[in-house]
């Protein structure tokens, strides 16, 4: 198993497309964080909570999507270039190969999320200090659970991308689905459901929309229809686990 994990680690960090999207996952949020810190008017008049939301949590939502792409490429690149046959020939126990890929990709997703958040926090707080404003993760108004939730969200998006591409076997199809479904399809469904029922309570069953609540800085108890932070995480986690399970079973049963 250790050899399988080591092999997947080498593949992930040496594949150019994967390295490129890892760079995007970190660089793009940092750029937005810097721009927000520089362009915000009168930051000294804003609360630490508002600054933290706008300059750390908000930009790092991009990281989740890029982490999902990295997860999809973790197995999709092998299908695309037919190297999956070599991998399964070298280790016929496909479950072990999939487990190794899952471990490495998930750790990468969590690591990407943590690095992006820390960099955004560091650069934005430095810029704000130069503008006579203050923001720290230790401030009372800053929700640390949302910070942790953002890291978890990146890991879950990585798993979702991995499971989706395991089932479809085509990154060119899996990646658009991973992006379009939460951004477009669920937004349309939210509008339809909200208009039809006059309440957001039914919209809590939209998995990605509920998953985003893991990194929501607001404290909610479910009165607005949401499950709550822990409930949202469990619900989205179960949804992602089902996707991974479907991809896993199909990979074991189909020819490479």
- What local confidence, expressed as pLDDT, does residue 79 receive? 84
Is residue 206 within 8 A of residue 192, CB to CB? The reply is no
Minimum mean pLDDT range among 60-69, 98-107, 209-218, 231-240: 209-218
pLDDT at 75 over 90: no
pLDDT at 242 over 80: yes
**221 pLDDT band (50/70/90 cuts)?**
very low
Neighbour-count burial of 233, counting CB atoms closer than 10 A to its CB (0-12 exposed, 13-18 middle, 19+ buried): buried
Query: Number of structural domains, the chain?
Result: 1
Residues 55-77, mean pLDDT to the nearest whole number: 90
CA distance 104 to 7: 10
pLDDT at 200 over 70: no
Mind listing the pLDDT tens digit for each residue in 107-129? 999 999 999 999 999 999 889 88
pLDDT at 89 over 90: no
**187 pLDDT band (50/70/90 cuts)?**
confident
Q: Domain of 172?
A: 2-253
Mind listing the pLDDT tens digit for each residue in 91-101? 878 888 899 99
Is residue 150 within 8 A of residue 57, CB to CB? The reply is yes
Mean pLDDT taken over the chain:
85
Share of the chain above pLDDT 70, in %: 93
Is residue 8 within 8 A of residue 100, CB to CB? The reply is yes
Residues 233-252, mean pLDDT to the nearest whole number: 92
CA distance 253 to 224: 43
pLDDT at 202 over 70: no
Which of residues 192 and 221 earns the better pLDDT score?
192
């Amino acid at each position: 198993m250790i050899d399988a994990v080591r092999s997947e680690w080498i593949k992930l960090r040496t594949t150019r497309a994967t390295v490129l999207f890892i760079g995007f996952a970190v660089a793009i949020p940092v750029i937005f964080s810097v721009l927000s810190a520089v362009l915000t008017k009168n930051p000294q008049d804003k609360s630490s909570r508002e600054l933290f939301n706008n300059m750390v949590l908000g930009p790092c939502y991009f990281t989740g999507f890029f982490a999902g792409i990295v997860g999809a490429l973790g197995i999709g690149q092998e299908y695309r270039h037919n190297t999956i046959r070599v991998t399964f020939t070298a280790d016929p126990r496909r479950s072990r190969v999939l487990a190794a890929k899952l471990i490495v990709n998930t750790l990468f997703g969590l690591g990407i999320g943590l690095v992006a958040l820390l960099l955004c926090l560091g650069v934005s707080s430095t810029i704000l200090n130069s503008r006579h404003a203050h923001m720290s993760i230790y401030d009372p108004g800053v929700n640390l659970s949302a910070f942790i939730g953002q890291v978890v969200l990146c890991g879950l998006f990585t798993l979702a991308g991995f499971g989706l591409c395991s089932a479809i076997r085509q990154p060119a199809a899996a990646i658009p689905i991973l992006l379009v479904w939460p951004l477009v399809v669920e937004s349309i469904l939210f509008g339809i459901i909200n208009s039809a029922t006059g309440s957001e309570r039914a919209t809590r069953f939209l998995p990605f929309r509920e998953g985003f609540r893991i990194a929501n800085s607001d404290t909610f108890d479910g009165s607005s229809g949401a499950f709550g932070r822990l409930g949202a995480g469990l619900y989205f986690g179960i949804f992602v686990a089902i996707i991974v399970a479907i991809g896993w079973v199909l990979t074991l049963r189909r020819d490479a």
